[in-house]
Amino acid sequence: MTSDSEFRPVQPPVYVSAAYEFASLRDAREAFAQREAAFTYARTGSPTVALLERRVAELEAGVGAVAFASGQAAIALTLLALAGRSGQSPDGRAHVEIPAGHVVASAKIYGGTADLLNDSLAESGIGVTWVDPHQPQAWADAVTERTRAFLVESIGNPHADLPDIPALARIAHAAQIPLIVDNTLASPHLVQPAALGADFVIHSATKYLSGNGTVLAGVVVDTGRFSPADHPDRWPQFTAATARFGDTPLVQRYGERGAVLHLIRAKYLHDLGPCLAPWSAQQVLEGIETLDVRVDRHCRNAEALAERLSTHSAVHRVRHPSLRGDPNAALAARDFPRGTGAVLSVELAGGFSGVERFIDSLRLFKLAANIGDARSMIAHPASMTHCRLSSELRTAGEITEQTVRLSVGRENLEDLWSDLEQAFAAAGLGTDDAAPAPLGTETLV
Ligand SMILES: *Cc1c(COP(=O)(O)O)cnc(C)c1O
């Protein structure tokens, strides 16, 4: 769908229309009854967004995808569809007396996902048990009657932790539960969770897929493994007839490979409304075209900085799987042959005032709550992304006052290193008090 207009543009057209016209009342009736696929109103789909959905589905070796206004919306609506209360009701209607589902999730996870599960989804009745991504047995032990999803990040935020995805997939599938993998930090260039057993793959496309820090976007991909019809009692939202979907089960109307995405789109995206704007979809489509070269550059910069930081006297510990001796190195070698991304955490030596002076002295690294931007960014998780976590969850996530997260960008490596060194010196951290080096000329910003 890149040249469907008479002008044959090589770039996909951006269709900016809130509504789509029907040729006849008959066509409108069939579309609204969801007997025929059509764009009706852009909250549930539009051509530019649909193209993005197809491209991400292909990149992730999936059978289909739904795009959203943000990664957060992708996670929220996917969990509502799989674990929401309606899914526990035998006749597909919400019964307040029936408890909603339960999610087993990695304790080393993006702070926004933790907020979502601890707060908003908890209030809607969805339970959560946080477990260590490195202990597959803990996941098996956390499964209850009500568990409807496992949720893990392919590369954890902020410590670049790697879970054993095939091991978690085996446990999930033995318990007849789908495994959702948030592949935001890796991107499909570094790992395809579908090949490792994931049932659903989620992206905050805000990050590496778009790649320039311009727009927010999210996507969920169905990899085509999940078969709700194998266990109809467990998944009435897909297997039971409901008035909302014409008294026909979704698996019957759309097949096993279409039922979950249809529920997400036609019920949750329609009812709650976090739809992706076509302009934003276009930015992500453009970003995807350079995904491989960009991510390779991010990885090489991050690996070099991780290596140099790991021997710097101002640094207590660097976590990145590319480092020799990192606890994730073996999984990195097995599942991530091209690298493990450009987010790394650094435990600084010295007290919090030194950490604060260091952060405030940086010039190239921007103090900002984002990752996957062209520009390098630093964050202090305890004050920023993870500030709402309970102290237990922060301890489980190994986030201290000395932890800083780097999202390494695509600038010149020596410029980045000079910036870190001058900030260490300005903060009085470490003993390598090099004078601030002049910035080079290749800097991107
Ligand atoms: C940023 C992020 C999200 C949330 O995505 P938004 O696009 O910011 O809503 C979810 N998961 C991970 C791993 C992220 O980094």
Q: Report how far ligand 1's centroid is from the alpha carbon of 72 (Å).
A: 6
Q: Is 313 within a domain?
A: yes
Q: Is 269 within a domain?
A: yes
User: Residue 341 belongs to a domain with what CATH number?
Assistant: 3.90.1150.10
One domain, residues 61 and 117: yes
Residue carrying structure tokens 């959702």: 180
121 Cβ neighbours under 8 A, 6+ residues apart: 76, 79, 80, 83, 103, 128
The answer to whether residues 260 and 222 touch, using CB atoms and an 8 Å cutoff, is yes
One domain, residues 336 and 223: no
Closest atom of ligand 1 relative to the 370 alpha carbon: 1
One domain, residues 299 and 422: yes
Q: Is 78 in the pocket of ligand 1 (CB under 6 A)?
A: no
User: Residue 198 belongs to a domain with what CATH number?
Assistant: 3.40.640.10
What residues pair up with 221 in beta bridges, in sequence order? Answer: 65, 201
Q: Is 321 in the pocket of ligand 1 (CB under 6 A)?
A: no
One domain, residues 215 and 297: no
One domain, residues 140 and 160: yes
Q: Is 339 in the pocket of ligand 1 (CB under 6 A)?
A: no
Q: Report how far ligand 1's centroid is from the alpha carbon of 73 (Å).
A: 9
Q: Report how far ligand 1's centroid is from the alpha carbon of 311 (Å).
A: 31
pLDDT of residue 324: 93
Closest CA to 98 of 279, 212, 233: 233
Q: Is 72 in the pocket of ligand 1 (CB under 6 A)?
A: yes
Q: Is 204 in the pocket of ligand 1 (CB under 6 A)?
A: yes
Between 438 and 54, where is the model more confident? 54
Closest atom of ligand 1 relative to the 184 alpha carbon: 13
| Mutation probe of ligand 1 site: the residue of 72, 191, 210, 406 with most atoms within 8 A of C-beta | 72
Most distant CA pair in the chain: distance in Å?
A: 77
Confidence band, pLDDT 50/70/90 cuts, at residue 433: very low
One domain, residues 207 and 88: yes
| Mutation probe of ligand 1 site: the residue of 110, 200, 220, 344 with most atoms within 8 A of C-beta | 110
One domain, residues 337 and 387: yes
Percentage of the residues of the chain whose pLDDT score is greater than 90: 81
One domain, residues 280 and 295: no
Q: Is 437 within a domain?
A: no
Q: Report how far ligand 1's centroid is from the alpha carbon of 427 (Å).
A: 31
- Kindly report the number of other CB atoms within 10 A of residue 284's CB atom: 27
| Mutation probe of ligand 1 site: the residue of 159, 191, 204 with most atoms within 8 A of C-beta | 204
CA dist., res. 242 & res. 262, Å (int) = 14
**Burial of 399 (C-beta count, 10 Å sphere; 0-12/13-18/19+):** buried
Q: Is 434 within a domain?
A: no
Q: What is the DSSP string of 289-358?
A: TTHHHHHHHHHHHHHHHHHHHHT-TTEEEEE-TTSTT-TTHHHHHHH-TT---SEEEEEESS-HHHHHHH
Q: Report how far ligand 1's centroid is from the alpha carbon of 380 (Å).
A: 16
pLDDT of residue 440: 43
Q: Is 432 within a domain?
A: no
Say which DSSP state 176 is in. T
Say which DSSP state 178 is in. P
Percentage of the residues of the chain whose pLDDT score is greater than 70: 93
Closest atom of ligand 1 relative to the 372 alpha carbon: 15
| Mutation probe of ligand 1 site: the residue of 152, 162, 207, 386 with most atoms within 8 A of C-beta | 207
Protein residue with least CA distance to atom 6, ligand 1: 71
Q: Is 70 in the pocket of ligand 1 (CB under 6 A)?
A: yes
Q: Report how far ligand 1's centroid is from the alpha carbon of 370 (Å).
A: 9
Closest atom of ligand 1 relative to the 185 alpha carbon: 13
One domain, residues 147 and 243: yes
Q: Is 71 in the pocket of ligand 1 (CB under 6 A)?
A: yes
Question: For the chain, how many structural domains are there in total?
Answer: 2
Q: Which pair of structure tokens corresponds to residue 345?
A: 């955490």
Range of the domain at 370: 291-427
Domain boundary among 285, 313, 336: 285
Residue carrying structure tokens 């979950």: 260
Closest CA to 139 of 168, 179, 99: 168
Domain boundary among 261, 285, 309: 285
Q: Is 381 within a domain?
A: yes
Structure confidence by residue, pLDDT tens digits, 193-233: 999 999 999 999 999 999 999 999 999 999 999 999 999 88
- Rounded to the nearest 10 degrees, the angle between the axes of helix 278-288 and helix 291-310 is 70
Radius of gyration of the chain (CA): 23
The answer to whether residues 160 and 319 touch, using CB atoms and an 8 Å cutoff, is yes
Protein residue with least CA distance to atom 8, ligand 1: 71
pLDDT of residue 102: 97
Q: Is 263 in the pocket of ligand 1 (CB under 6 A)?
A: no
Task: Say yes or no to pLDDT of 2 above 60.
Answer: no
Q: Is 156 in the pocket of ligand 1 (CB under 6 A)?
A: no
Task: Say yes or no to pLDDT of 445 above 60.
Answer: no
One domain, residues 280 and 350: no
Q: Is 112 in the pocket of ligand 1 (CB under 6 A)?
A: yes
Domain boundary among 285, 315, 342: 285
Structure confidence by residue, pLDDT tens digits, 80-111: 999 998 766 666 566 677 789 999 999 988 98
Q: Is 157 in the pocket of ligand 1 (CB under 6 A)?
A: yes
Q: Is 110 in the pocket of ligand 1 (CB under 6 A)?
A: yes
pLDDT average, residue stretch 266-278: 97
Confidence band, pLDDT 50/70/90 cuts, at residue 59: very high
One domain, residues 267 and 352: no
Structure confidence by residue, pLDDT tens digits, 130-178: 999 999 999 999 999 999 999 999 999 889 999 999 999 999 999 999 9
One domain, residues 265 and 371: no
Task: Say yes or no to pLDDT of 290 above 50.
Answer: yes
Structure confidence by residue, pLDDT tens digits, 115-134: 999 999 999 999 999 999 99
pLDDT of residue 430: 81
